[in-house]
Every structure is written in C-alpha cells, then in structure tokens.
Amino acid sequence: MRSVLALLAALLLGAPALAVTPQERLADPALEARARAISQNLRCLVCQNESIDESDADLAHDIRVLLRQRMLAGDTDAQAVQYMVARYGQFVLLRPPVEPATWVLWYGPGALLLVAGLGTVIWLRRRSGMGAPASVPPLTDVERQRLDAMLRETER
C-alpha cells in the first residue's frame, strides 16, 4: 500500500514538470514571472497542444528565448504577445480571439453537432415512417375467414 502511495505522490509531483531550462530563465524574478505567464498562453507550433512553457521542442525553446529577449528590451506583455502574433500568426495563441476570421474555430464544432443532430432526427423520423402505411384498412370478410382458417391449421 505504501509503495502505491509513493508512486502516486511521485506522479503527482512530477506532472507539472516544465521545459524551461535554467539557462533560459531571467535573473529578474518579476520579468521571469511575466515571461512564464505569457509563455503559458503561447502554443508550441510543433506540438500544437502544449504551451511553449511545457514543450521540449527546439522551436518552443527558440520562442521562449525570443520572448525573454523582448521582455529584456522593455516590451509590455501586450507588446510581446503582439510581436509573437506578428511573427508566427494567431495560431501561436492557445486561445485565439473571437473575431470573424476565427468564427469557424469557435463556433464550427457546435454548428457541426447541431447539423448532425438535426440530420439524425430527420433520418429517424423518415425511417419510422417507412414501415406500414399511416392508415391500415380493416380486413374484409373474405380476408378474415382466410386468416381464421390459417390460424386453425397452425393450431393442429
């Protein structure tokens, strides 16, 4: 039991391991904190689902270094982010802004789900209507006599 707990503790403590190396860190703790906050919102262009703060990719390292250079040059947070967007495009942002160019990104999945749901409802309604006609006429006397005769034969 203790070994399981030790393993879980090691996994939980090791999970937030970040890729920022000591050589990349800035000497000024305030600037480093700002750089880390910004880098958590910038996408690794190689990994695509990780921030540059988490990624070990060479390009993520280059972007982290460039970001820190911009911070040392006196850029505000907004200016540093704008520089990255100007250089790499809005894809570098983990959360791109909601604007006409990104509407498909933000609203496309919901619209696709809605269209798929409506298509399924229409398909199910048409499918349920394919069986018997809406109104089945009653059996005639001849048909009823034939049915009774068939039922009597199967009972024997």
Neighbours of 25 (CB within 10 A): 15
Taking the whole predicted model, whether its pTM rises above 0.85 is answered as no
User: In angstroms, rounded to a whole number, what is the distance separating the alpha carbons of residues 47 and 41?
Assistant: 14
**Could you tell me the end-to-end alpha-carbon distance of the chain, in angstroms, rounded to an integer?**
70
Per-residue pLDDT tens listing for the chain (156 residues) = 666 555 555 554 444 445 676 677 777 788 888 988 999 899 988 887 888 888 888 888 999 999 999 988 999 999 999 999 999 888 888 888 888 887 888 899 999 999 999 999 998 888 876 655 567 788 899 999 999 999 998 887
